[in-house]
Amino acid sequence: MTHEEGSVTAELAVALPVVVVALLLVLGVGAASAAQVRAVDAARTAARLAALGEPDAEVEQAARRLAGESSVVSVSREPPWVTVSVRARVLAGIELAASASAWTEP
């Protein structure tokens, strides 16, 4: 028997948790990035609808459909601008936000 027998198992036992944590971190960042893109898309779409004169209830519903039902949507109209803000929760209580403004159509 040599002194190196079993050292691979010990090294794997030390390295495996590090690999698992790194993988979870990468997956979390990916999920947060996807949620941010959805929030931006939701804010843009809702701002376009609001600029076309759609009622606030329909604008909020469209934004929630894109960003997720648990998202918080607010519509602010200050003529000639309309601004839609979307906030969505992601993993571990992280909250992402996006907003978009549009010039209202006559």
Least confident window among 8-12, 18-22, 100-104: 8-12
Summarised one tens digit per residue, pLDDT across range 80-99 is 999 999 999 987 788 999 99
Band (pLDDT 50/70/90 cuts) for residue 2 is low
CA–CA dist 31, 36 (Å, integer):
9
Mean pLDDT calculated for residue range 13-24:
91
Q: What is the pLDDT of residue 15?
A: 87
Q: What is the pTM of this model?
A: 0.81
Pair of tokens at residue 24:
């979870």
